[in-house]
């Protein structure tokens, strides 16, 4: 008689999202003016564009590639572990990457908050101190996480004003969904772990 397949459906959904996320696109984007400069980022992609010129870093590219591969492996492990949720090895496969989306979301938010504070509060003083030609006033107002604001730079009698728009993109919602499913997967998998322990004691 065939053994009935025991499935952790939360984990299956989580695994599918883990396979989609690395290719879904950027999670957050900032734009200065009407395309004068932009910054787009996610745990898998990082793009800096200044007046049409892209700035690349080989080290960053390899780090992001590693993150992409680790998410894909975690997705495959999660699906395998969830399709055979009552096996002794299922929990180990699921635990490999079940919290990756949550930590990625939290890390991104922390980096954005810290970066916004630095740009608004620290960077103007640094740049003003480096400029020797006449008085310079830099007033940067980067919105926290999302929104649009106006910043201005005054050098002598010349004042330049520009808008700064920042915000989360649709793939970030997928990341949040994956984070929630990851937590549910971990909680639900404990039921199978308890059953496996009880079964071992009986034997």
CA distances to 106, 118, 151, 198 from 125, rounded to whole Å, are: 29, 10, 15, 64
In the chain, alpha helices (H):
9-20, 58-83, 90-95, 100-117, 123-130, 170-202
Q: Do residues 80 and 67 make contact, with C-beta atoms less than 8 angstroms apart?
A: no
Q: What is the CATH number of domain 9-194?
A: 1.20.140
Tens place of pLDDT for every residue, the chain, 203 residues? 445 568 899 999 999 999 999 999 999 999 998 878 899 999 999 999 988 888 888 999 999 999 999 999 999 999 999 999 888 888 899 999 999 999 999 999 999 999 999 988 888 777 766 666 665 777 888 899 999 998 887 777 778 888 999 999 999 999 999 999 999 999 988 887 665 554 544 44
Beta bridge partners of 158: 155
Nearest to 41 by CA among 30, 26, 31: 26
* Tokens linked to 104: 């990625």
Largest CA-CA distance found in the chain, in angstroms, rounded:
87
CA 94 to chain CA centroid, nearest Å: 20
Residue 196: predicted pLDDT: 54
| Beta-bridge partner residues of 30 | 39, 166
- Residue closest to 15 by CA, chosen among 88, 92, 87, 80: 80
pLDDT value, residue 14: 97
Check residue 5 and give its pLDDT. Answer: 60
Handedness of CA 193, 199, 201, 203 (dihedral sign): negative
- Beta strands across the sheet bearing 37-41: 53-55, 46-50, 37-41, 28-32, 158-168, 147-155, 136-139
User: What local confidence, expressed as pLDDT, does residue 200 receive?
Assistant: 47
């Amino acid at each position: 008689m065939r053994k009935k397949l025991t499935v952790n459906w939360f984990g299956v959904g989580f695994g599918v999202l883990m396979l989609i996320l690395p290719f879904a696109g950027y999670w957050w984007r900032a734009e200065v003016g009407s395309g004068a400069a932009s910054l787009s980022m996610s745990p898998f992609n990082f793009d800096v564009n200044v007046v049409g010129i892209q700035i690349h870093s080989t080290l960053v590219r390899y780090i992001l590639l590693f993150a992409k591969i680790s998410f894909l492996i975690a997705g495959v492990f999660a699906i395998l572990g969830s399709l055979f949720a009552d096996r002794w090895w299922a929990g180990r496969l699921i635990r490999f990457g079940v919290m990756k989306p949550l930590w990625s979301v939290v890390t991104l938010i922390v980096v954005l908050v810290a970066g916004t504070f630095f740009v608004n509060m620290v960077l103007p003083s640094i740049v003003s101190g480096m400029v020797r030609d006449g008085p310079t006033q830099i007033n940067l107002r980067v919105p926290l996480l999302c929104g649009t604001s106006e910043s201005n730079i005054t050098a002598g009698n010349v004042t330049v004003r520009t808008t700064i728009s920042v915000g989360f993109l649709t793939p970030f919602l997928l990341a949040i969904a994956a984070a929630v499913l990851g937590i549910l997967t971990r909680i639900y998998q404990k039921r199978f772990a308890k059953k496996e322990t009880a079964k071992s004691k009986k034997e």
